[in-house]
A and B are shown apart, each in its own frame.
Chain A
Amino acid sequence: MPSVIVADQLTKHYGNRVAVDSVSFEVGKGEVLGLLGPNGSGKSTILRMLTGYLHPTSGRARIAGFDVTEQGLEARRRIGYVPEDVPLYPGMRVDEFLEFMGRLKGLDGRALGDAVARVCDQLSLERVRNLGIGKLSRGYRQRVAIAQALLNSPDLLILDEPTNGLDPRQIIEVRELIRALASLHTILVTSHILSEIERVATRVAILLDGQLLTIQALDNGGRERILARIRGGSADRIAATLVAVAGVRNVSSAKDAGEASYDFTVEIDDPSVAERVAADIVGAGFGLLSMARTRTDLEDLFLELTGKARQ
Chain B
Amino acid sequence: MNNFTTLLAKETKALFTSPIAYVLIAVFLLLMGYTFTAYLFISRTATLVQSVFQASMILLLIVPVITMRLFAEERRNGTLELLLTSPVREIEVVLAKYLASMAVIAVMLALTLAYPITLQIFGSPDWGPVYSGYLGLILLAGALVAIGLAISALTANQIVAATVSLGIFLLMWMLDSLGSLLPDPYDIFVVNLSLTAHFTPFATGALYLSDLGFFAILIMLGLLFSVRALARR
* Interface, chain A (partner B; CB < 8 A): 48, 51-55, 73-74, 76-77, 79, 81, 83, 85, 87-89, 91, 100-101, 103-106, 108, 148
Contact = CB atoms under 8 A, between A and B. Distances in A.
Contacts of B84: 52-53
A79 B85 contact: yes
Nearest to A102: B6
Q: Which among A74, A79, A103, A104 has the highest number of chain B CB atoms within 10 Å?
A: A104
A55 B233 contact: yes
30 contacts: A48-B85, A52-B84, A53-B84, A53-B85, A55-B233, A73-B87, A73-B89, A74-B87, A76-B86, A77-B87, A81-B85, A83-B78, A83-B81, A85-B78, A87-B78, A87-B81, A88-B79, A88-B82, A91-B17, A100-B6, A101-B82, A101-B86, A103-B3, A104-B83, A104-B86, A104-B87, A105-B86, A105-B87, A106-B87, A108-B1
B6 A53 contact: no
Interface in B1-39: 1, 3, 6-7, 10, 14, 17-18
B3 A104 contact: yes
Nearest to A101: B86
A103 B6 contact: yes
B205 to A, nearest CB: 43
Interface residues of B, number: 21
A104 to B, nearest CB: 4
Contact of A51 (B3, B14, B18, B85): B85
A87 B1 CA distance: 24
Contacts of A100: 6, 10
Given A91-B18, A101-B82, A103-B3, 15 more contacts: A48-B85, A73-B87, A77-B87, A81-B85, A85-B78, A87-B77, A87-B79, A87-B82, A88-B79, A89-B79, A100-B10, A104-B6, A104-B83, A105-B86, A105-B87
A76 B87 contact: yes
Contacts of B113: none
B88 interface: yes
Given A100-B10, A103-B1, A104-B6, A52 B79 contact: no
Contacts of A103: 1, 3, 6
Nearest to A52: B85
A110 B49 CA distance: 53
A76 B78 contact: no
B109 to A, nearest CB: 26
Q: Which among A53, A54, A77, A108 has the highest number of chain B CB atoms within 10 Å?
A: A53
Contacts of A83: 78, 81-82, 85
B6 A91 contact: no
A24 to B, nearest CB: 22
B229 to A, nearest CB: 13
